[in-house]
Amino acid sequence: MIRQPYLLFLGDAPDALAVKVARGIRDWRPDAALGQYRMAGCNADVDLPDMTIREAREAGAKTLVIGVANRGGIVSEAWKSVLAEGLEAGFDIASGLHNLLRDEADLVALAERNGCALHDVRVPTVQYPIGNGQPRRGRRCLGVGTDVSVGKMYTALAMDGEMRRRGRKSTFRATGQTGILIAGGGVPLDAVVADFMAGAIEQLTPDNDDDHWDMIEGQGSLFHASFSGVTLALVHGGRPDALVLCHEPTRDYMRGLPGYRLPGLAELRDLALTLARVVNPDCRVCAVSVNTRELGEREAADCLAKIEDSLGLPATDPFRYGAGRLVDALPE
């Protein structure tokens, strides 16, 4: 078990998107997020009290969570002095990076000396099967994005929360490090061997009641040259009945790939539906989830109206306006 509450480590993150792990925990597990630690040069802020290691320890924080999702998922050498200070103060450390804490000899030695735990969230703990594409009872919804980091996890969490408020059967299915830290379990999909990714999602979303919905956390983008394989495993392993298109309207280029422009929502709709119907011919695109964080109220309203007019689908920002319209759009 990862001990709570958390001190969220933002390190020297260059921008807000780089701390999506910390922001996700702050937004969806506020009871577990005590404060934030920012190094010099950090350009991100998740609107929590800035704390030193000592202040956080005195306030009752028990685990230092690396809230940064940097390109390549590495433990930066620049962070080591802060992580070491945390271990010396008695903090456990939790990380969802590809570069595992348990492979950092200096941190392992400090953890052992101080009786602290190192939690690598992005490590598969079971042997997954190869996917078989067979139908399963229950219903499944997956968010697919025009790019990475556009709000696919927020969409699934918001829809799950709205379903529960309505007294309907729903489970949020985490597939990435932030989702796992929020939900307390899941599949770290991008750390699963490629041949078993679809099977891992089949196992994550098993047979269920006919009126139960799995809200599957989306990953990557079918159009992103770096991460499209993870997305396709979700599409085929999840065998969704419903797809929600996820979009951030202020970007011109794919994140981390300045040579690639974002696809249009119609392109995403057509490609995602074609691939989803390989395993589920009855799959539907039901709605559009738009991350309007960078837009004012009038701009957001105009953006959503334009998308609805062009696609003929309900469009909303579930974090800003609630997920009611997305849930209403799910097929019966």
Average pLDDT across each block of 10 residues of the chain; the chain has 332 residues. List them in order. Answer: 93 90 93 96 96 97 92 82 97 92 96 96 90 97 97 97 98 94 90 96 98 98 97 98 98 93 97 98 98 97 98 97 98 91
Whether 8 contacts 67, CB under 8 Å: yes
Residue of 246, 249, 174 lying closest to 216 (CA atoms): 174
**How many residues make up the chain in this entry?**
332
* Residue 269 DSSP symbol: H
What span, in angstroms and rounded, lies between the C-alpha atoms of 21 and 95? 10
pLDDT of amino acid 319:
94
Phi, psi of 35 (to 5 degrees): -170, 180
Check: CB of residue 50 under 8 Å from CB of residue 37. Answer: yes
Structure tokens belonging to residue 235: 């599409």
Phi then psi dihedrals of residue 186, to 5 deg: 150, -165
For residue 1, the model assigns a pLDDT of 77
Task: Look at the block and give the residue holding tokens 């990380």.
Answer: 95
> What is the distance of C-alpha 48 from the center of its chain?
20
User: Do 200 and 176 contact (CB within 8 A), yes or no?
Assistant: no
Question: Cα–Cα distance between 254 and 216 in angstroms, integer?
Answer: 22
